[in-house]
């Protein structure tokens, strides 16, 4: 009996099985056409992780002699993808550790009461950094850019058409947007599926009054967003991240604080 338990434990702890060959598709759905087969002997560059139907989808480049084939594979069966996952996990840990070291070295501007909520709450590694600029077209074909929003505050929500928890985050933005939009709040939904045609079917008959774009530049990967969970960022007028995490009370609080702050004075001719 002990031997059986040991074997089961070894199987559970074993690394993901390496697959000798996988289909390389034109998109992240099993319905998308196969453009090639990619195997362990191929030279592969993994560009980014995206949302797939059931498994995580990876955009890769296959380098063969005088050609470079770009496509998508589902799952982490290829060694190059497993290496990419380990590198991302290591980079995420190192970023969090570096942020923690910087926080310990900084002298707080205001003393926190021992045991208070503010003193105990860890900071997201993205907080206080500048959010990357992006340019895309939304599902109506209208150009969208971060700099073009001209807002006092921006809520950016990463979500997946195949992930109900992340879609719930997106829908939870609606009351906040309705309350503060006329006061200068902007919002953007970024689907982690690079295929923009998958956005509208996922939203079904829900009408959202802020842009929805597909992540075709790896923005979610840049911020290490889990394709299954999604993530929401709150940006101030200069596009610095003031809060990040699941949509909830902390995100709402950050937006309210920004909207309660009087807008900066503008020079003539500036909007």
CA 248, CA 43: separation in Å to the nearest integer?
43
Tell me if 59 sits within 8 A of 72, measured CB to CB.
Answer: yes
Tell me if 152 sits within 8 A of 237, measured CB to CB.
Answer: yes
* Residue 98 pLDDT: 61
Note if the pTM is more than 0.75: no
Return the closest-CA partner of residue 190 out of 239, 154, 238.
154
Tell me if 242 sits within 8 A of 236, measured CB to CB.
Answer: yes
Where residue 61 falls (left for φ over 0; alpha for ψ -120 to 50; beta otherwise) is beta
CA atoms lying within 13 Å on the CB side of residue 83: 9
Three-state DSSP state, 10: helix
For the chain, count helices (H), then strands (E). Answer: 7, 12
Going from N- to C-terminal start, the domains of the chain cover: 2-82, 124-260
* Residue 263 pLDDT: 64
CA 232, CA 122: separation in Å to the nearest integer?
16
* Residue 267 pLDDT: 43
* Residue 187 pLDDT: 96
Per-residue pLDDT of the chain (271 residues; tens, 9 = 90+): 544 444 444 444 445 555 578 999 998 888 889 999 998 889 999 987 775 556 778 889 999 888 999 999 988 889 998 888 888 777 656 655 665 566 566 544 454 455 555 444 445 767 889 999 999 999 999 999 999 998 999 999 999 998 888 888 898 898 899 999 999 999 999 999 988 999 989 887 677 889 999 998 889 988 888 888 899 999 999 999 999 999 889 999 999 999 987 765 544 444 4
Torsion from C-alpha of 199, 235, 97, 79, nearest 10 degrees: 20
CA 26, CA 52: separation in Å to the nearest integer?
12
Options 3.40.30.10, 3.30.1490.20, 3.30.70.270, 3.20.20.70; CATH for 124-260 is 3.40.30.10
């Amino acid at each position: 009996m002990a031997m059986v338990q040991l074997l089961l434990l070894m199987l559970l702890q074993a690394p993901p099985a390496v697959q000798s060959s996988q289909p390389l598709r034109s998109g992240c759905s099993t319905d998308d056409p196969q453009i090639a087969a990619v195997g362990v002997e191929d030279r592969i560059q993994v560009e980014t992780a995206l949302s797939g139907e059931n498994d995580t989808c990876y955009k890769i480049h296959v380098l063969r002699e005088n050609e470079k084939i770009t496509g998508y594979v589902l799952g982490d069966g290829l060694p190059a993808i497993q290496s990419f996952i380990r590198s991302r996990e290591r980079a995420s840990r190192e970023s969090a550790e570096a942020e923690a070291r910087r926080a310990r070295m900084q002298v707080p501007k205001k003393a926190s009461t021992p045991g208070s909520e503010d003193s105990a709450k860890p900071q997201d590694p993205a907080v206080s950094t500048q959010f990357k600029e992006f340019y895309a077209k939304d599902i109506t074909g209208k150009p969208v850019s971060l700099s073009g929003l001209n807002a006092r505050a921006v809520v950016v929500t990463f979500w997946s058409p195949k992930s109900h928890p992340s879609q719930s985050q997106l829908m939870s933005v609606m009351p906040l947007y309705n309350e503060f939009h006329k006061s200068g709040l902007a919002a953007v939904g970024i689907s982690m599926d690079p295929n923009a045609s998958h956005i509208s079917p996922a939203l079904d008959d829900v009408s959202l009054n802020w842009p929805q774009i597909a992540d075709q530049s790896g923005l979610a990967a840049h911020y290490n967003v889990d394709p299954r969970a999604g993530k929401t960022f709150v940006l101030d007028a200069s596009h610095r991240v003031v809060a990040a995490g699941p949509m909830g009370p902390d995100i709402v609080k950050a937006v309210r604080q920004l909207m309660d702050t009087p807008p900066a004075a503008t020079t003539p001719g500036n909007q």
